[in-house]
A and B are shown apart, each in its own frame.
Chain A
Amino acid sequence: MIEFRNVNFSIEGHPIIRNVSFAIPTGESRIIMGHSGSGKSTILRLILGLVRPESGDIFVDEKNIVGMKEGDLNEIRKRIGMVFQDGALFDSLTVGENVGYYLLEHTRLKFREIESRVREMLGFVGLEEQIIDRLPDQLSGGMQRRVAIGRALLSTDPRIMLYDEPTTGLDPEMTSTIINLVNRLSEVKKVTTVVVTHQIADAFEISDKFIIIDSGEVAFDGDLATMRKSQDPRVVDFLRPFRESMTNLRNKEFV
């Protein structure tokens, strides 16, 4: 369960998040959409406690993390897997060291045991074991994203998965692979999933429940059917390019 209650956050006096409230029940998936710079990624950073709100409450698994000490916050973070935009892999470490990072840092498992788990995880995210000794720079964008998902999964055995723009910049084939992986994780591991994206077409494939953020405020929180009917100008404005592209697609003749 993730819940925001009247959360406000600003940077150097500029409001980024304004009076945001929503709730995501345990095991559900939610897509957070919005234009670039609308404050979507900040919501994920607030859930992880990477930044602290000025006011309001944030509940993660029924615990209010606002004002929580860093040590207690780390316990909460152990239940959260985060896939950062562009992966945020440690570029001086190999793929194997990245995926096994948490185990190397926080456990006393033998190296062989960690290596075996890393190989297993690489298989789970659809990567070949041979890349284990490669550096992140030597991988494609899609592979980096999958390594990041593997790292998040192996590190914490999470109950909550957060994805920040997981498909941005990827080709359609790799996008489909990542979406399948996100969906498989939600189904198999029954994790609460929050995906931040501005790719509407991708969002529809992951969940049918959406939050639209506009200028730091929640413009919409509900399911696909309600969103389609919404007359809120902010929602209409956000969906317009997608609707237009779909209409163009329908009108196009394929020879």
Chain B
Amino acid sequence: MKLIELIIGWIRHFAFESQRLFFFSVRMIAALFGRPVYAAETFEQMYLIGVGSLFLVVLTGISAGQGMALQFANELADFGSKNYLGRIMAIAIIRELGPILTGVMVAARVAAGITAEIGAMKSSNQIDAMIAFGIDPMRKLAAPRLISLLIMVPVLTVICDVISLVGGWIIAIFLAHITSLTYWTAVKERLIFGNLFIGLVKPVVFALIIAFVSCYKGFTAEGGTKGVGQATTESVVISSIVILVGNFVVTKVVFSAIKGYL
């Protein structure tokens, strides 16, 4: 009986939080329009998110690209199809690995930072002070982060794609003994509209997820430093899970929509 009550309570809490997150997201989008526009804050965030995450994305991109190429090359060798390595790498990286890796890496690094910063500002009354001076914190704090993520996550994803493909190329020429021309020609064959479209829609969706969840968790953080710490952890966990679930949903929806272009 207690277990059922616990489950019902959890479902209720989940529904309530989802509803609050939805309305918060709507307010965040509304904050993008109108004045004032905080350009300096937006550029600062773009720098922090973009340049700050670059090393992480490059490192994970090249390692993942090399690992995948190694696995695929071994399997393809059994069928005498090593020349297709570039094709498989292009599809796997551009459609799936690049966006997912970048999304999760940015979620881990940036979502934590955003939630901790906004949460700390809230717990020290800085957000109230902002409102007292007639400044809309949604416009001042949330909107620049949303814009920055919407620009930088796709950019980082493209960088991750390129680096991963380069990682695959290193394996291709040194371990799989495929010529550069064969590898890059095969890659180029799969750089078609459908793949590029999926590869660029996903990071936009992931950017929205990271921005909504991290800002929401920051603005609703309660309970002092302990509460901010908890909100930060939840922000990373929720963002990462929603990115993974969202990846499947986006793949399914976009696949149905652009089947003819794949």
Contacts and interface: CB of A to CB of B under 8 A. Distances in A.
Nearest to B124: A88
B132 interface: yes
A155 B133 contact: yes
A106 B125 CA distance: 20
Contacts of A85: 125
Interface residues of B, number: 12
Contact of B125 (A78, A80, A84, A101): A84
Contact of A45 (B121, B128, B134): B128
Interface in A82-125: 82, 84-86, 88-91, 101-102, 105-106
B124 A106 contact: no
A74 B128 contact: no
A234 interface: no
Contact of B129 (A80, A90, A156): A90
Nearest to B131: A50
Contacts, number: 44
B126 A90 contact: yes
Contacts of A155: 133
A70 B134 CA distance: 9
Contacts of B134: 74, 77-78, 102, 106
B191 interface: no
Contacts of A77: 131-134
B244 interface: no
A105 B133 contact: yes
B132 A82 contact: yes
Interface string A225-254: 000000000000000000000000000000
Interface of A: 45, 48, 50, 70, 74, 77-78, 80, 82, 84-86, 88-91, 101-102, 105-106, 155-156
The 4 closest A-B CB pairs, nearest first, are A88-B125, A74-B134, A88-B129, A84-B125
